[in-house]
Homo-oligomer: A and B are copies of this chain.
Amino acid sequence: MFAKEVYVRRRAELVRKMVAAGQKGILLFVGNVEAPAQYKDNCYKWRQDSSWLYYFGLDDPQYAATIDLEDGSETVFANDVEIGDIIWMGPQPSVASKAESVGVATSAPYAALDAVVAKAISQGRPVHFLPPSRYFNTMKLSALVPGGSPSEAFIKAVISMRLVKEACEIEALDDAGALGQEMHTVARNAIRPGIVEQEIVGLMEGVTLAKGWGVSFPTILTQHGETLHNHLHDKIVEPGKLMVIDAGAESNLHYASDYTRTYPTSGRFTTKQREVYQIVYDCNELAFSLTRPGVTYREVHLAVARKMLEGLSALGLVRGDLDEMTARGIAGLFQPHGLGHNMGLDVHDMEDLGEDLVGYDPDQKRASQLGLGSLRMARRLVPGHVITDEPGIYFIPALIEKWKSEGIGTDCVNFARLKDYYDFGGIRLEDDVLVTPDGARRLGPARLPIAPDDIENVMA
C-alpha cells in the first residue's frame, strides 16, 4: 500500500473532477469478494478490484465505500471479524482502523451499504458506479441500484487519473518489470528440446509467486506462436522451433509487467526464422523510437505496420506500394492485433471500464480493419502513459486461407510463397514503455536480450 496521503489526494482529485463536470449524488465503490475456484470456501488467490485499490488501497475482500459529491463525506463499509473468524484468520485490525489508514474517517458494517444507497435513490440523487468486472459485482450492483447503469462521468474521471501514472506507481511498475524479467530469464534458461512446456511455465510462475502476487495474466508459452493466446502447455519442446513466451508478473502492490520474447528452441535461428525475427525486432525498435509526447499511438501502430510490410516485401511475401498497403490494412494478415495497450494495476489497464474510453481520445474512432481494429491504445501520448510495444508476425494458415478464398489482398499478397510458412509459427517481441517528458524509457531494471545475435549468445 502507498502512503495514506496518496489515497486522500486521489479521492479529492476525483471529487474535484466530478464536481467540475457538474455531477451530483454519490460515488459508489464495490470492492471484490473472494472468487470460488471450486466450492465457496476454496477460492482463487485473492485479488482486489483495481479501481478500489487505486482510491482506497485496502487489500481485503468484501469492502465497499461511498463518497458524497455534495458534502464530501466518505464511508468505508466492511465487517469486523468475530471470534469464529479469529480462529481461522487470526486477529485482525478493525475496519475503522483500516479505513483510517487510508484517510477515511467513517466506517460501517457491509450490510449498512444497502440502506445508504437506497436512501440516495429514494431522494433522487444519482448513484455513480463503475462497470463491474466480476459476476459477484454484477449481482451486487443490480441489487443495490436496480436498473442502474455505470456512470460515464465517473468512468471518464477515473480513466483520466489512472492513465497518467504517478511517481510511486512508476516505481511499482519498475519493480514488476524486474520480476517479469526474472521470470523470463528463468524460462529462457530452461528451454531445451525434450522438456515439457508446462515445466518451464511452473519454473517461471514460481519466481513471481516467490516475490510478487503472481502472474499478471495467464502465461502464454507455446511453439505455436501463431495462436495468439495459447494457454495449453502440454507439448514437448522440439528442436528447430520458435518458442513464444508472453508473460508478466504482478507485484505485491498489484502493478503489472508484460514481456514477450521469442526463442529458437535449439538456441540458434534458422535463416528463415532470423529473417522474420529481424523484421519484428526492427518494428519493436521503431515503435520505441517514435514513442514520445504529442504522437498518437495509432500513428506509431501504422508506422510499424508500414515497416513490417517493407520487411515482408523484401522476403517476397507481399508486393506493392507501402503506403497503400498500410492504408488497406494488409499488415493485419500478419499481425491481426494492435501494437500495444495501456498497463498499470491491470495488465490491460482499466479494460473493465471500456476499451474505447480507455484507449481512444474523444476525437479518435476505432477502425474496423483487422489488426488496427484490435488496437487497444490509440491515444495521443502524454508523459506518464505506460504502454506496451509488441509487434508480431504470425503465419496463421486458417486466416491466410480465408483471405485467399475471399479474394482479399490478392493483388499484393503472395499466397503461393506463404504456403512455405504454414508451419513457421509466429514471433512477437514486447517491452513495457513509460512515456517521459522528452521521449520514452523502457520499464524494468535492464532490457531482456532481444537483438537476434544477443538471443543466440545468451542461449549458447
Contact = CB atoms under 8 A, between A and B. Distances in A.
A42 B139 contact: no
Contact of A39 (B133, B135, B199, B228): B133
A200 B38 CA distance: 25
Nearest to A352: B39
A119 interface: no
Contacts of A40: 133, 351-352
A396 interface: yes
A348 interface: yes
A230 B227 CA distance: 39
Interface string A197-237: 01111110111111100000110000010111111000000
* Centre residue among A133, A207, A336 by max chain B CB count within 10 A: A133
B136 A135 contact: yes
Copies in the complex: 2
A87 B228 contact: yes
A233 B139 CA distance: 32
Nearest to A210: B202
Given A37-B44, A209-B202, A351-B42, A399 B83 contact: yes
Interface stretch (A88-96, A287-295, A435-443): A88-96
Interface in A92-125: none
* Centre residue among A39, A90, A138, A348 by max chain B CB count within 10 A: A39
B399 A87 contact: yes
Given A46-B231, A89-B227, 13 more contacts: A35-B35, A37-B47, A38-B47, A38-B133, A41-B348, A42-B217, A44-B45, A45-B218, A83-B399, A86-B396, A87-B398, A206-B207, A206-B209
21 contacts: A36-B135, A38-B50, A39-B133, A39-B348, A42-B346, A42-B347, A83-B402, A86-B399, A90-B224, A90-B227, A90-B230, A138-B139, A198-B211, A199-B211, A200-B210, A201-B209, A202-B206, A202-B208, A202-B211, A203-B206, A205-B209
Interface of A: 35-47, 50, 83, 86-91, 133-136, 138-139, 198-203, 205-211, 217-218, 224, 226-231, 336, 346-348, 350-352, 396, 398-399, 402
